[in-house]
């Protein structure tokens, strides 16, 4: 094995470990690394102490435009977009940095994270597939996740105009 291929493989393993630690599902690891499925499963078991969860990844863009998920998705995607535009990071490295910054911000605010790593990854993929876009709020001028090709004129975000039941969870009512 050449020096370069050894370095590449080490980078792939390090990336996989970092993604696993952040909560990536096996499908994300298979897409974003060049490691075999068998190797990824072994790494997952080593890092998490259990087998990777089974099941399908989220597949609907609708979740990202509902009120609370939209606030979190918009925060994450704006961070990701900024890193992409202002650095020379590779796409996956920008993604990991953006997700870490999202988690850090959420922790500073003392709220529960709504956007898991797999959903954040799916969000980026939906943008890359032109299923989602950023709309600018007419009131606060923030950029928010919306369905692609949705009207942008007179757009008001869920922060400036929250739905009537916003924040009224069962836990808050008890």
Binding site for Zn(2+): residue ranges? 137, 140, 157, 160
Q: What is the DSSP letter of 167?
A: T
DSSP structure string for 15-47: HHHHHHHHT--HHHHHHH--S-HHHHHHHHHHH
Cβ atoms of 110 and 101 within 8 Å: the answer is: no
Bind-site residues: 137, 140, 157, 160
Question: Residue 159's closest CA among 51, 57, 44, 78?
Answer: 78
In the structure encoding, which two tokens stand for residue 59, read together?
Answer: 């597949």
Query: 13: Cβ–Cβ under 8 A, 6 or more apart, which residues?
Result: 35, 43
Closest CA to 132 of 144, 152, 148: 148
């Amino acid at each position: 094995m050449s020096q370069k291929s050894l370095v590449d493989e080490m980078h792939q393993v390090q990336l996989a470990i970092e993604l696993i630690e952040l909560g990536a599902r096996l499908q994300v690891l298979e897409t974003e690394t060049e490691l075999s499925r068998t190797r990824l499963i072994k790494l997952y078991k080593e890092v998490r102490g259990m087998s990777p969860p089974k099941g399908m990844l989220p597949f609907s863009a609708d979740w990202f435009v509902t009120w609370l998920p939209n606030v979190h998705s918009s925060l994450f995607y704006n961070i990701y977009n900024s890193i992409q535009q202002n650095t020379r990071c590779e796409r996956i490295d920008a993604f990991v940095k953006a997700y870490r910054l999202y988690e850090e911000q959420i922790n500073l605010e003392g709220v529960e994270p709504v956007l898991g790593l797999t959903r954040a990854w799916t969000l980026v993929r939906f943008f890359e597939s032109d299923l989602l876009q950023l709309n600018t709020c007419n009131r606060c001028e923030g950029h928010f996740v919306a369905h692609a090709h949705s009207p942008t004129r007179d757009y008001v975000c869920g922060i400036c105009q929250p739905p009537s039941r916003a924040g009224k969870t069962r836990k808050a009512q008890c």
